Amino acid sequence: DEAKAKAIELSKEKNMTFIPPFDHPLVIAGQGTLAMEMLQQVADLDYVFVQVGGGGLAAGVAILLKQFMPEIKIIGVESKDSACLKAALDKGEPTDLTHVGLFADGVAVKRIGDETFRLCQQYLDDMVLVDSDEVCAAMKDLFENVRAVAEPSGALGLAGLKKYAKQNHIEGKNMAAIINANDAPLSDNDVWGVSDLEKIIDVLKRFDSASANVGDLIFESKIDIFKIAGLSDKISAGLENDVAHVISAVQSIKSATNSLLLDAENEYDRKELSFGGLKDLLTEFRNAVAGAADMPVTILFGQSVSGLASGDEDIQNYHESIHRLQETRLRPVLEVLDTLLCNE
């Protein structure tokens, strides 16, 4: 609330546009596109659980899902110590909470938005409140089952799903929970999430042994082998210095004349290794690290894959492909939501 007040103040002072975090039709419509992604993955949902802070996500998701699947049940999930929507529903209008808990700080809102309240009141079928212990259990489930690291507000939906299903003895239904807010950076303080380095550390460890082996092979890639007759006997007789002197002399002559002079009973061989697969190993390493970090190879390493576009062209192609997806998949959804919100 203090950050919002400061943002409004700065926008007026500097003549800048203030973008509301939730209580605006376009913001609601934008968050509602997440519902289309859900329907593309699972077309026959029975219940959807969505966390509520200011209500923008819940309102947008509920509007779109109800248009395509009127029978679906949309359940709002709030933290017990930040239940501004539940308080507004009980009173019949938005009301200010005296205080909010900060454990799930992503949904720590004192007052539900006016527009989001109206839409949530109309489209949500029920509410469920969860406490910190239930949220922690959901976070643990996410990490153990799918290795997803969610902050408390991100795991709120799953916590609500588990509690609501247990309380209402729901079985045999397709239930979905929205898991978001997973990108908080890791620090030594009470901050949830993982850094980019931690995302790729397992990949780095996996390739560490491979890189060490490659290093050993590079060291041994070109080795001169002198086969000296009676070498063991000479060493046993304490003639190591004589042997070393002979080898040094042979190497000096070879270096100076590019010719090799040896006694007739001695032999020479050369060990050479090919590194034809090294390029493939490096490519695999780049792709694995980029995949773990969820970043394009071009952006992470500043170069494109050999044979494809240049770095700058690759970045441009990447952004153009995202733009095409937005226009073909999200634009129709936004137009539907805009129409619905305008009609409302």
Residue 125's closest CA among 167, 67, 62? 62
The three-state DSSP-derived secondary structure of 147-212 is CCCCCHHHHHHHHHHHHHHHHCCCCCCCEEECCCCCCCCCCCCCCCCCCHHHHHHHHHHHHHHHHH
Instruction: For residue 41, count other CB atoms closer than 10 A to its CB.
Output: 9
Q: Would you call 237 helix, strand, or coil by DSSP?
A: coil
C-alpha–C-alpha distance, residues 107 and 155, integer Å: 11
The pLDDT assigned to 185 comes to 45
Residues 179, 150: contact at Cβ < 8 Å?
A: yes
> Over 225-255, what HEC string results?
EEECCCHHHHHHCCCHHHHHHHHHHHHHHHH
Q: Where are the domains of the chain?
A: 2-194, 222-271
Q: How many CB atoms lie under 10 A from the CB of residue 42?
A: 12
Q: Rounded to an integer, what is the distance from CA 281 to the centroid of its chain?
A: 24
How confident is the model at residue 88, as a pLDDT? 93
Q: What is the pLDDT of residue 336?
A: 72
pLDDT confidence of residue 72: 93
- Domain topology for 2-194: Rossmann fold (3.40.50)
Measured between alpha carbons, how far is 26 from 16 in angstroms, rounded to an integer? Answer: 18
Instruction: Say what percent of the chain tops pLDDT 90.
Output: 26
Which residue is listed with tokens 């006016």?
A: 114
| pLDDT value at residue 277 | 57
Among candidate residues 221, 218, 226, the one with its CA nearest the CA of residue 251: 226
Non-local (6+) Cβ contacts of 33 within 8 A are 60, 64, 330, 333, 334, 337
**Strand, helix or coil for residue 250:** helix
Residue 113 backbone dihedrals phi, psi, to 5 degrees: -65, 155
Residues of the chain with pLDDT under 50: 184-194, 212, 219, 307-308
What does DSSP say about strands 267-272 and 222-227: parallel, antiparallel, or unpaired?
Answer: antiparallel
